Amino acid sequence: MGQRTLSFELVFRALGLDSEAYDRLRDDDNPFVEGLFLIVLIGVATALLNLIGQALAWAGTPSMSAIKDLIWQAFPTMPWWSQMAGDAEAMAQFKQLYDLGWQIFPRLFGVADPLAASLNILFWPLAALLSWLIYGTLAHLFARLLGGVGRYDQTLGTLSLSYAPLLVHGLGFVPYFTVGAALNTWQLICRYKAIRSAGQLSWGRAFWATVLPFGVYLVFWTVIGLIVALGIAAAVAAQGGR
């Protein structure tokens, strides 16, 4: 490999939708390796930023176990408590459900969890790699069907730049900084720029090569949903026939 193409300046220009940035990575002597490095770097960096945010939020949040115990101590003051307390089996079931609820609901409502956030340092780069490879493969196939001339490694290399907006998502811990749906639109436009550069397509064909992979996702998950629904229906029917 020759001189490394990737740089902070190149990623920043790609975020600004500078076409030349995508062209430079496309013309690298090994765009796949450059893209692989960038995807892993973005996954790790985003997870680390998220971990910082989770740790700061956790430090400023009251202990969940203390809140759990405080609510439990308030139950005896409620009218229904005395009746349930006289039934040992009902009391045991209620305590079991109460403990289970406190394991599930805090996570559903986004309570800070630095331990889980630390695991993202492993999971997020892997998820980014899978997303990059699956989407990149589909986008490359559609680009070629639409007349694209780029190589597979060029498609993957330029597409790696479209994951740079995820770094902004990692800044969600900054006070008054909110990340909305605009981030998804930003990444989609970056993908369009990457595919158009790699395949050297017209804007219309690049658009379809960008969005058609999402159509494949939709069909795939629809089929999976139908299979699961049919499986559940068959299981229910079998139980009803007994």
| pLDDT confidence of residue 168 | 78
pLDDT of 189-224, one tens digit each?
A: 999 999 999 999 999 999 999 999 999 999 999 999
Over residues 13-36, mean pLDDT:
92
Domain ranges of the chain: 8-61+112-241, 65-109
pLDDT at 19 over 80: yes
pLDDT of 109-140, one tens digit each?
A: 556 677 777 888 999 999 999 999 999 999 99
Q: Show the DSSP H helices in the chain as ranges.
A: 8-15, 19-26, 31-59, 64-74, 81-85, 88-108, 114-145, 152-160, 166-169, 182-199, 203-241
pLDDT of 150-182, one tens digit each?
A: 999 999 999 999 998 888 776 655 544 555 667
